[in-house]
């Protein structure tokens, strides 16, 4: 069997651990508005037993109008403690498409210093296809004690990116569609120009995921980045539309052994709306 990322747990393992108090299951589903999917409503109708819903737009930095920006460690710690989470637990995250927004939640935990966090292989679609149990019962836990510590090296902001576009020793890799990256297709957010950051490379996140919602094997991932002209010997910053699917690239690059990795949290939504940014188009 082809080698795949170490950050996956399979559906069989999760079903066997549904009653394990040291395993916390989180539904991190999030969708672009034009998909007209309500992740909270879908969760309320059917979710993996014991799972809790993690709203990446609510447990976020709400002082900005940018979507689901990384929360402060203090806010993250407070909210997770309220949910009944404590340090030392194993966290399993999933979403409603397989590999969609779950990697963003996985990345968030990684950035907050929690390494014992995994993604459900195939997510909810695979779980349901295998006729595994779902429920509409909302799980509640007694308050826990969770403490986060932010890894500043894994996050990049606008000022960092202004420097990065001038640095030949850094790679910027964009997860958006090739049409949006080239500037010949529209952005899903109104009044936002498409295009790219100078020097960035393009690896659409869809290329890294199978039709069944599972991330592809290590050899394919490496070949795909190399084919896009990414120099894997350099530090890499991943970006996308709003910082969500950039985490799929982050996961894929981690899978192939890339150590110097960070993610541009504001991503294209911030870059294309800020004065001082440079936008290239074909």
Same domain, 77 and 132: yes
Same domain, 120 and 192: no
Q: Domain of residue 167: give its range.
A: 153-271
Question: Would you say residue 281 lies in a domain?
Answer: no
Which of 129, 150, 171 is at the close of a domain?
150
Question: Would you say residue 188 lies in a domain?
Answer: yes
Question: Would you say residue 1 lies in a domain?
Answer: no
Neighbours of 154 (CB within 10 A): 17
Same domain, 260 and 247: yes
Question: What pTM did the predictor assign?
Answer: 0.94
Question: Would you say residue 104 lies in a domain?
Answer: yes
Question: Would you say residue 2 lies in a domain?
Answer: no
What's the average pLDDT block by block, 10 residues per block, for the chain (282 residues)?
78 96 95 86 97 91 80 95 95 95 96 94 96 95 94 95 97 98 93 96 96 90 98 98 95 94 97 95 96
Question: Would you say residue 278 lies in a domain?
Answer: no
Same domain, 40 and 145: yes
Pick the catalytic residue from 14, 23, 164, 240: 240
CATH no. for residue 144? Answer: 3.40.250.10
Same domain, 75 and 206: no
Same domain, 229 and 181: yes
Same domain, 194 and 237: yes
Which of 133, 150, 167 is at the close of a domain?
150
Same domain, 14 and 135: yes
How many domains, the chain? 2
Q: Is residue 267 among the annotated active site residues?
A: no
One-character DSSP codes across the chain? -----TTEE-HHHHHHTTT-TTEEEEE-----GGG---HHHHHHHSB-TT-EE--TTTSS-TTSSSTTPPPPHHHHHHHHHHHT--TT-EEEEE-SSSSSSHHHHHHHHHHTT---EEEETTHHHHHHHTT---B-PPP------------GGGEE-HHHHHHHTT-TT-EEEE-S-HHHHHTSS--SSTT----B-TT-EE--GGGGB-TTS-BPPHHHHHHHHHHTT--TTS-EEEE-SSSSTHHHHHHHHHHTT--SEEEESSHHHHHTTSTT---B--
Which of 116, 135, 150 is at the close of a domain?
150
Same domain, 162 and 219: yes
Cα 101 from Cα 29, distance rounded (Å) = 6
Question: Would you say residue 124 lies in a domain?
Answer: yes
The per-residue pLDDT for 2 is: 56
Same domain, 20 and 136: yes
Same domain, 40 and 140: yes
């Amino acid at each position: 069997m082809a080698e795949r990322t170490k950050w996956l747990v399979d559906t069989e393992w999760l079903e066997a651990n549904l009653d394990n108090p040291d395993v916390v299951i989180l539904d991190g589903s999030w969708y672009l508005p034009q998909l007209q999917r309500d992740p909270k409503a879908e969760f309320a109708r059917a979710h993996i037993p014991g799972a809790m819903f993690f709203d990446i737009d609510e447990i976020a930095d709400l002082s900005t109008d940018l979507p689901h920006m990384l929360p402060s460690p203090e806010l993250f710690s407070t909210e997770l403690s309220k949910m009944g989470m404590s340090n030392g637990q194993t966290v399993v995250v999933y979403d409603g498409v397989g590999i969609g927004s779950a990697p963003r939640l996985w990345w968030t935990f990684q950035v907050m210093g929690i390494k014992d966090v995994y993604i459900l292989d195939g997510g909810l679609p695979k779980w349901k296809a295998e006729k595994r149990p779902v429920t509409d019962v909302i799980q509640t836990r007694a308050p826990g004690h969770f403490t986060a510590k932010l890894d500043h090296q894994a996050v990049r902001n606008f000022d960092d990116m202004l420097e990065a576009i001038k640095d030949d020793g850094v790679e910027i890799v964009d997860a958006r569609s090739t049409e949006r990256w080239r500037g010949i297709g529209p952005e899903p957010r109104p009044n936002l120009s498409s295009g790219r950051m100078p020097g960035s490379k393009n690896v659409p996140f869809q290329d890294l995921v199978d039709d069944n919602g599972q991330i592809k094997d290590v050899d394919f991932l490496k070949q795909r980045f190399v084919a896009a002209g990414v120099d894997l010997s350099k530090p890499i910053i991943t970006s996308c539309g709003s910082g969500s699917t950039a985490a799929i690239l982050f996961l894929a690059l981690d899978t192939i052994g890339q150590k110097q990795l960070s993610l541009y949290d504001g991503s294209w939504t911030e870059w294309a709306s800020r004065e001082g940014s440079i936008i290239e188009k074909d």
